[in-house]
Structure 1
């Protein structure tokens, strides 16, 4: 991976899912393969079985794209009773009832893939694909801790501590770095009464690494 390209991706610090492609497949597989009983055991088979279907391998696809599901005029979903139910090796239905009943069957979030070039939904404290758009755009897995951290604006050198579950919680509970930086600058300007009536405020270049004097923020 080119170091120049890597630096450009980190400096952008936007919420584009395109950043994920910079991660090595080794890191992604190592992080995603740590299946704790609290997070992974209940839906590993569900992910693997669903992703086998070509319908769910499309960018942005979700459980509605799987066979045996009908989307009604009211945007609600129901099972197609005219076709034979598709079962997993365990005998459970490929599309579980909770996906159909979630938000009265009108949500597109359960078992949905992300896009490479669109805004990512808010990251929560666990990669719950039952109710979140958290599946990798191309690979058959949820996002890793490092991928979630990148989406929150954390630099790659930032380390998280604890179990897999605890590290996911740390990322999900954190205020996104770009948001925190913007809030800090705006509050500092407001306290010193240096703001105007303009609706948009632009941060100085490299604001987080600058001093009070170069930002024109003088102590009271």
Structure 2
């Protein structure tokens, strides 16, 4: 009996394929970059404590218009017809507060694309792109007595990593949303501010609508966002699985379903905010 069940399961798995035609030449839209996602959010400091504030500017991109939609506009009825707590305000836009030493280091990282700990005084790049202390420059120390360039930054990944105290840039896609806002081993510095990305900025990179309010201490909120399946992906998978369960298929050999272009959520394929509400750059 167990063997029969295993064979049945294997057969079903073989019939359940998510794929695309490799012969087809896909037409891809431009990727969303960091500027598309967070450029409308107000400036905050390393010690930002308020996690509820007002938007200061109108959305600048289609993504920002969409991510600011209300629960009802996104067809999210998880609270019934009620408005979610804090909806309409900007929530969780606060960063993990860096200690004094790390804050001093972050302030000295140039506000340039590709900047990281290698740009700090006393570091040079040797053979094979390995970072090392420059023997011709005396070690620089912070007010606390600790070195400006810590040993762990030099030794991380045998000196070949660009991630310690790395600054993200506006025209880049963000490779991953991490569970910890730790600049020691992650490239998580804001492009133009001396701080790490806020919880809300990370949440936007994961596709969380702004009406989602995270819960708990700030470190736990970073973990909630980083551990989550990206919301647009979860919605697309849920929508597809729901239709598959209902067996809405025309009987052909083609795919069971193809998501509509610009899929956001069931029944909605584009933001409904009027275009004239987009602020000029």
Please, what TM-score do these two structures have when normalized by structure 2?
A: 0.59
Q: Contact 1:16 / 1:151 at 8 angstroms: preserved in 2? A: no
Q: How does 1:160-179 map to 2 (within 5 A)?
A: 160-179=214-233
* 1:22 equivalent in structure 2: 40
1:113 and 1:87 mapped to 2: Cα distance?
22
What whole-Å deviation, never above 9, does each CA across 1:49-101 have from its counterpart, x for those lacking one? 22343x52223310011121111221111100111111111111111001111
Specify the alignment match of 1:46 in structure 2: 101
In 1: Cα distance, 2:177 partner to 2:221 partner: 13
Secondary structure of residue in 2 paired with 1:165: helix
Give the match's secondary structure for 1:22: coil
Gaps of 5+ in 2: 1-30, 52-91, 269-281
Could you tell me whether the CA contact under 8 Å between 1:15 and 1:120 is conserved in 2? Answer: no
- 1:147-178 deviation line (CA, Å, top 9, x unaligned): 11111111111111111122111111111112
Distance in 2, matches of 1:16 and 1:33, equals 19
Partners in 2 of 1:65 and 1:83 — Cα distance? Answer: 14
Q: For residues 93 and 203 of structure 2, what CA distance do their matches in structure 1 show?
A: 17
Tell me what 1:209 maps to: 266
Match in the other structure for 2:20: none
Residue-by-residue CA offset, 1:29-65 (whole Å, 9 max, x unaligned): 3459978xxx64xx52233222343x52223310011
C-alpha change, 1:187 and 1:34, in structure 2 (3 Å) is closer
**Are the aligned partners of 2:45 and 2:194 in contact in 1 as well (CA < 8 Å)?**
no
Change (3 A) 1:185 1:73: farther
Residues 166-209 of structure 1: CA deviation (Å, up to 9, x unaligned): 211111111111222333345456664859668xx543555523
Larger Rg: 1 or 2? 2
Structure 1: any 5+ residue segments left out of the alignment? 1-13, 212-220
Give the Cα–Cα distance (whole angstroms) in 1 for the partners of residues 102 and 239 of structure 2.
42
Asked whether the equivalents of residues 121 and 133 of structure 1 are also in contact (C-alpha less than 8 Å), the reply is: no
Cα contact 1:182–1:203 (8 A) shared by 2? no
Q: By percentage of residues, which structure has more helix? A: 1
The alignment's C-alpha RMSD in Å is 3.1
| Contact kept in structure 2, 1:152 and 1:171, CA below 8 Å | yes
1:97-156 residue CA offsets vs partner (Å, 9 max, x unmatched) = 011111111110000010111111211211011111111111000111111111111111
Hey, what does 2:194 align to over in structure 1? Answer: 140
Equivalent of residue 80 in structure 1, options 134, 137, 151: 134
Matches of 2:42 and 2:237 in 1, distance apart?
Answer: 32
**Does residue 101 in structure 1 map to residue 155 in structure 2?**
yes
Q: Distance in 1 between matches of 2:170 and 2:253?
A: 37
d(CA) in 2 for partners of 1:164, 1:49: 21
